Amino acid sequence: MPNPSPMVELWRGGLLESSHAGHAVIWGSGGMVEAWGDPATVIFPRSSCKMIQALPLVETGAADAVGLTEAHLALACASHQGEARHVKMAGDWLSTIGLAEPDLRCGAHEPYDKTERNRLIKTDESPCQLHNNCSGKHCGFLTVTQHLKAGPEYVEIDHPLQRMIRDATEEATGETVAGYGIDGCSAPNFAVSLSGLARAMAAFASASESGDARSRAMHRLTRAMMAYPELVAGEGETCTDLMRAMGGRVAIKYGAESVYTAILPDQGLGMAIKITDGGKRAVLTAITSLLVRAGVLDPAHPAAQARLPAVQINCRGLAVAELHTSPGFPD
């Protein structure tokens, strides 16, 4: 990733202790609005593109065929924390379509939610695939697979569903994917440029319920995310906190290895950002600063204050360091 731009710094005792560089793009209806670093940098969007991966769920008619609600569509775009409500909703969804947890192909991991994790420990219960942060996405995958009467191995690269997702990715980004890797949940993740990813988010931002099938699907998914931020991530998580702070006017999505995307319908803008070192802490400050700069997030809101600047608290409750944006970013 050549020529990244300085974005976030950690200061302690008046000295620069650490710095983080990256790439960011803002895209509008007329093309690229602004960029830092190299907008042509090719990345794996990871979970930041789940709304693209959910397009076939709506476009094929699978969602309507089984009566999915806005809440289900939000969960299909989620990287949830494995809270009890997330687990129950995913399990109920599978029951509705006549399937069960073993039909998932995402694998199991401990829930990120402490309450659910502690419950499992106390009851000597093992986590299952419903706890996987991607279980909602995979419930959507299974819904499409069943609707298409395709094979059960829906994460295989040549499966009809994954071919549809690749096509949707290329159409939304306006470019041929640069390849693919396997994500943590075993699904293919298609590599695109950061500018292509931002362009895709701008397409979601300008989508309309009166447009063509693609536009209507994008509109529904965006509205679902904004209506149910607690399903997109979970309590205390940045996606949930910031979407609530913005009053349901913006949809944002984190992706592993320090990627973030944002959909700003009122402005018709899409954002994509990647911190090159892959660490999560810097991208939370960076996306917060971009949203504040765009005028959609009040810098005085507690959710923004917690992340911009992000004060480091030690074990005795003392403020010992501060994470803030680098000079010139985002100006």
Alpha-helix runs per DSSP H in the chain: 50-53, 55-59, 62-65, 70-76, 84-96, 114-122, 135-148, 160-173, 194-205, 213-227, 229-232, 238-245, 280-293, 302-305
Residue 148 predicted with pLDDT over 70: yes
Average pLDDT, the chain: 97
Residue 72 predicted with pLDDT over 90: yes
pLDDT in tens, 153-203: 999 999 999 999 999 999 999 999 999 999 999 999 999 999 999 999 999
We report the CATH number of the domain holding residue 76 as: 3.40.710
Predicted confidence band at 247 (pLDDT cuts at 50, 70, 90)?
Answer: very high
Task: Say what the pLDDT of residue 55 is.
Answer: 98
Predicted TM-score of the model (pTM)? 0.97
- DSSP SS3 for 207: coil
Q: Which range of residues forms the domain containing residue 81?
A: 5-325
Q: Are 83 and 235 in contact (CB under 8 A)?
A: yes
Predicted confidence band at 296 (pLDDT cuts at 50, 70, 90)?
Answer: very high
pLDDT in tens, 270-292: 999 999 999 999 999 999 999 99
In a domain, 331, yes or no: no
The tally of domains found in the chain comes to 1
Residue 1 predicted with pLDDT over 80: no
Length of the chain counted residue by residue: 331
Query: Can you spell out the DSSP letters for 127-167?
Result: --GGGSTTHHHHHHHHHHHHHHT--S-TTSTTSHHHHHHHH
Q: List the structure tokens of 28.
A: 């509008």
In a domain, 310, yes or no: yes
In a domain, 330, yes or no: no
CA distance 192 to 201: 13
